[in-house]
Structure 1
């Protein structure tokens, strides 16, 4: 297959409506904050009717916002998604060297996660070089209320926000020691918030987690140390590991602007 045939084949896989939708979003800039549907159609070289459904879909999804009868600006979805991505990327870049150093000091695995609704989403792991280790891949989602890092992520919410988040979530489907009711969850998270860390045992392993804070004092992520019970269960070991974990928390939070 020659280069021309290869290019034609790749073109066949394109989705014209998606391509036009992304092109429309790319038309907005600091100089041009508001565009009409006819502006979009003219720049795409198509009729207004050809972009009507695309624009309406972008409005319905929050990527565009109608500001007049035939005028649109970028919607909050673009801004929130963009800042969420940048914040997550910054957190990983800032946290990575600190978690690697923590792993080297303790010989335990370290993980970093953020909250996505009721899930704890794993963004980074520093894997310990020992045979018995806790290894949770990047991209894994685990229920917040049943994990150490997840519970620390939930400490960023107050009692009302917790109730709203878990309004339609069944908690009694999860095995103990996960909380089984909303009041139980609220009490647990209040205690976690006061203590500033969570120790959680499961499947012959133990995890110690704490929260990461940004320049506004908001919980933006969580980190943990995790390893086999044989290493983690003695009070002295837990005390030393917790001390190292909290020092790492302070270093990462400090780079994010937390006082």
Structure 2
């Protein structure tokens, strides 16, 4: 056992890539904050010197992953990573199939809608369609949402393979360093039995999130389609109307991608 452990440690040391690790550390730092950072702030947060990361920052800026602010003192993350994710074939195929369905859903309900997928310990909104009205509420495409504060995330978890669900929950616990909600298991079971989630928004008062899973051929969720329902004066649309149209849209999209 000691020999095996030593062999693994030697292999890890032999294949380390310091420059790549520094670049990934920088990208992950910018992805985790909405702030614009100076080179000195980046170095301090990563526990490195400015000279260690200077060339990497220049490279990331030249490749379009970072951009300077107008005063050229601070750096911010661009949308290049998001565009790359959108170009990934499975995501691109999903969004291409989803957008026509989502536009029809928005038209029938007078509400916005968004499509979210699970990425490790959080939900990423990969597509979004505005309500066809002058006012409304929406979650913008590209947003990262806390897994435990998203109806979309709970719907995906409840319709997920047990090992994938466990892995996502463990990753969330590690990243957030927070305890799980006491009723999480029972809550996910209720969603699974009911087939959808309907509950007040975790983040915005007056909004009710209604979410249905997009299922693959084995009946597991690869995404969830969600309407953040906002009741308008003089609009006869109800949550029940939203459920009806959203369920049909989710079934249609699941069928389009070869699912159940």
What range is the shorter-chain TM-score in? 0.5 to 0.7
- Aligned residue number for residue 151 of structure 1: 154
* Cα 1:54–1:256 shift into 2, 3 Å: farther
- Aligned residue number for residue 242 of structure 1: 243
- Aligned residue number for residue 194 of structure 2: 195
- Aligned residue number for residue 229 of structure 2: 227
Q: Cα deviation per residue 1:159-209 (whole Å; 9 max; x = unaligned)?
A: 5644443336459x89xxxx9635521221111111111112132211210
- Aligned residue number for residue 17 of structure 1: none
**Contact kept? 1:132, 1:227, Cα under 8 Å:** no
- Aligned residue number for residue 186 of structure 1: 185
Q: Cα deviation per residue 1:59-104 (whole Å; 9 max; x = unaligned)?
A: x99xxxxxxxxxxxxxxxxxxx99x921111110011100001111
- Aligned residue number for residue 32 of structure 2: none
Give the secondary structure class of the aligned counterpart of 2:127.
strand
Structure 2 residue 211 is the aligned partner of structure 1 residue 209: yes
Q: Which runs of 5+ in 2 are unaligned?
A: 1-12, 22-83
- Aligned residue number for residue 125 of structure 2: 122
Structure 2 residue 93 is the aligned partner of structure 1 residue 90: yes
**Contact kept? 2:106, 2:132, Cα under 8 Å:** no
Aligned pairs for 1:1-259 within 5 A: 57=17, 85-158=88-161, 161-167=164-170, 169-170=172-173, 181=180, 183-202=182-201, 203-230=205-232, 237-259=238-260
Give the secondary structure class of the aligned counterpart of 1:181.
coil
Residue 127 of structure 1: how far off its partner (Å): 0.2
| Cα distance in 2, alignment partners of residues 200 and 249 from structure 1 | 18
**Contact kept? 1:206, 1:228, Cα under 8 Å:** yes
How many residue pairs align between the two structures? 179
Give the secondary structure class of the aligned counterpart of 1:167.
helix
**Contact kept? 1:148, 1:198, Cα under 8 Å:** yes
Q: Which runs of 5+ in 1 are unaligned?
A: 1-52, 62-80
| Cα distance in 2, alignment partners of residues 116 and 221 from structure 1 | 10
| Cα distance in 2, alignment partners of residues 158 and 256 from structure 1 | 19
* Cα 1:166–1:95 shift into 2, 3 Å: same
| Cα distance in 1, alignment partners of residues 16 and 250 from structure 2 | 44
| Cα distance in 2, alignment partners of residues 205 and 193 from structure 1 | 22
**Contact kept? 1:149, 1:223, Cα under 8 Å:** yes
- Greater radius of gyration (CA): 1
Give the secondary structure class of the aligned counterpart of 2:238.
helix
RMSD: 3.6
